[in-house]
Amino acid sequence: MPMKPIRFVTYLLVWLLAITAFAQSNQKVTLLLKNNGLLPREFKFLERHPDDKYPNVFTTYLLPGQTYKVQLKVGTSLAQVNQDEINASMRGSDVTGKPLLLVKATDADKTINLIQKR
């Protein structure tokens, strides 16, 4: 028995709506994290998105003036942390670290200086 055209169109519209809703919820933004200091340095970061159950930790070594490209979901909070804070986070403690930013769609291709001048 052939499928009625209206039923087919309805299924197609529901499918397209679901695909577009899913694609919008995972919008990612590209950021550049820059070592604007005078010495090579190891940087450790904690990223936490409200939809994710667990935070993500990553480390990078950067030479002076070097940048590190990351792609983060809109709504992700990014903080600079030390090893003790990483260990506490892995044990389930809530760690804030040194907050860098809360990612917004307008942050696309933004460069974040990691050394704060005093």
DSSP, collapsed to helix, strand or coil, labels residue 23 as helix
SS3 content of the chain, % helix, strand, coil (to 5): 25, 35, 35
Domains of the chain and CATH, by start: 27-113 (2.60.40)
pTM score, whole prediction:
0.71
Tens digits of pLDDT across the chain (118 residues)? 555 677 777 777 776 676 665 555 568 999 999 999 999 999 999 998 888 888 888 999 999 999 999 999 999 999 898 888 888 877 777 777 788 899 999 999 999 999 877 6
Nearest to 58 by CA among 75, 77, 81, 30: 81
> What was the pLDDT predicted at 54?
83
DSSP, collapsed to helix, strand or coil, labels residue 43 as strand
